[in-house]
């Protein structure tokens, strides 16, 4: 139904279209439509409009059943079911990542045009990641919805709905940046278990996610400059205010550096005091 509305208005406005797609419940249809929207050039943009969702967002399929993170079991990599459970968890993260990129587009009016085109690019890439992983899951004999999942990523999107500064700080440059840290070890485990295709997909994802975190950094720093506040001090204050648990290593310093974190931030993360340190020795990839 959501997509029918978009098809009736192919020249529709970008932020309105992002809101419609966010409400779409069917994950496959959502991913497909987001890919099409991201590939259609430069859609019409009304960056000032104040929009309201017509119904519940995000649209979610009936399955997977959403549970608390504690109820998502870790499974052994030497069984197909165990590997499928891991791929399923990644499919769900990518589903939420499509939704978070769409939410960044419709939710916050008054940003420069490049902000919206950046997040449209992210949405398109998340939709690609979702499709690659869900097809791989199908090849293993499972489908999205066959395992339970947790919604930690979306919960932080919800918490930060009132302020694009908090959103940029805590979603792309905290939670998506966490993905940069954990993907290399996950890739190694899958490869060791013989899943070469999963490793190839994770290579694509890691490459693209560096870009997503860079976009988070770009707009976080833009908003800090606009408000005349210090990015490092502000990030720490926001993490406390919004209850982000302290990060733990190992960190992927080379990927974080490529995503635009400055040396002072990387040094602080490593807990080694400020600046003037060669971090290359600590790289995890």
Phi, psi of 270 (to 5 degrees): -75, -10
Tokens at 219, concatenated: 């707009």
Single residue of 107, 136, 150, 212 touching Fe ion by CB under 5 A: 212
Residue 212 CB, nearest approach to Fe ion (Å): 4
Taking each helix axis from N to C end, the angle separating 177-192 and 80-107, rounded to the nearest 10 degrees, works out to: 160
Burial of 15 (0-12, 13-18, 19+ CB in 10 A): buried
- Ranges within 85-104 binding Fe ion (CB under 5 A): 94, 97
From the list 13-21, 67-75, 207-215, 248-256, the region that binds Fe ion by CB under 5 A is: 207-215
Contact region with Fe ion (CB under 5 A), list: 157-165, 202-210, 222-230, 247-255: 202-210
CB 66 within 8 A of CB 148: yes
Question: Residues 24, 26, 31, 32: is their CA dihedral positive or negative?
Answer: negative
Q: Of the listed pieces 69-77, 157-165, 170-178, 257-265, which binds Fe ion according to CB under 5 A? A: 170-178
Q: Work out how close the CB of 171 gets to Fe ion at its nearest, in angstroms, rounded to a whole number.
A: 9
Least gap, CB of 201 to Fe ion (angstroms): 10
Count of CB atoms situated within 10 Å of the CB of 2: 21
Count the neighbouring beta carbons within 10 Å of the beta carbon of residue 111.
18
Q: Does 256 bind Fe ion (CB under 5 A)?
A: no
Minimum Å gap between C-beta 168 and Fe ion is 13
Taking CB under 5 A as the rule, does residue 126 contact Fe ion? yes
Angle between helical axes of 196-227 and 177-192 (0-180°, round to 10): 170
Binding Fe ion (rule: CB under 5 A), the pick from 30, 129, 167, 256 is: 129
Residue with smallest beta-carbon separation from Fe ion? 212
Name the site residues for Fe ion (rule: CB under 5 A).
94, 97, 126, 129, 176, 209, 212
């Amino acid at each position: 139904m959501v997509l029918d509305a978009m098809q009736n208005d192919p020249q529709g406005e970008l932020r309105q279209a992002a809101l419609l797609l966010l409400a779409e419940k069917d994950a496959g249809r959502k991913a497909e439509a987001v890919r099409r929207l991201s590939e259609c050039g430069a859609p019409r943009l009304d960056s000032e409009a104040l929009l309201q969702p017509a119904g519940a967002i995000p649209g979610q399929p009936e399955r997977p059943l959403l549970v608390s993170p504690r109820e998502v079991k870790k499974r052994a990599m030497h069984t197909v079911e165990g590997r499928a459970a891991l791929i399923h968890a990644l499919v769900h993260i990518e589903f939420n990542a499509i939704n978070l990129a769409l939410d960044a587009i419709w939710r916050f009016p008054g940003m420069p045009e490049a902000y919206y085109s950046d997040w449209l690019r992210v949405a398109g890439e998340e939709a690609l990641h979702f499709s690659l992983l869900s097809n791989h899951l199908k090849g293993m004999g499972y489908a999205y919805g066959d395992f339970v999942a947790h919604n930690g990523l979306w919960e932080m999107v919800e918490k930060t709905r009132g302020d694009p500064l908090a959103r940029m700080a805590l979603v792309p440059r905290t939670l998506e940046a966490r993905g940069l840290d954990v993907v290399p070890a996950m890739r190694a485990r899958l490869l060791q278990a013989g899943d070469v295709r999963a490793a190839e997909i994770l290579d694509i994802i890691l490459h693209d996610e560096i870009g997503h975190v860079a976009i988070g950094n770009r707009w976080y720093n833009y908003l800090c400059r606009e408000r005349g506040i210090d990015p490092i001090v502000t990030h720490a204050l926001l993490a406390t205010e919004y209850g982000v648990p302290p990060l733990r290593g190992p960190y992927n310093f080379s990927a974080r550096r490529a995503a635009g974190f400055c040396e002072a931030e990387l040094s602080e993360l490593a807990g080694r005091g400020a600046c003037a340190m060669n971090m290359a020795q600590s790289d995890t990839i």
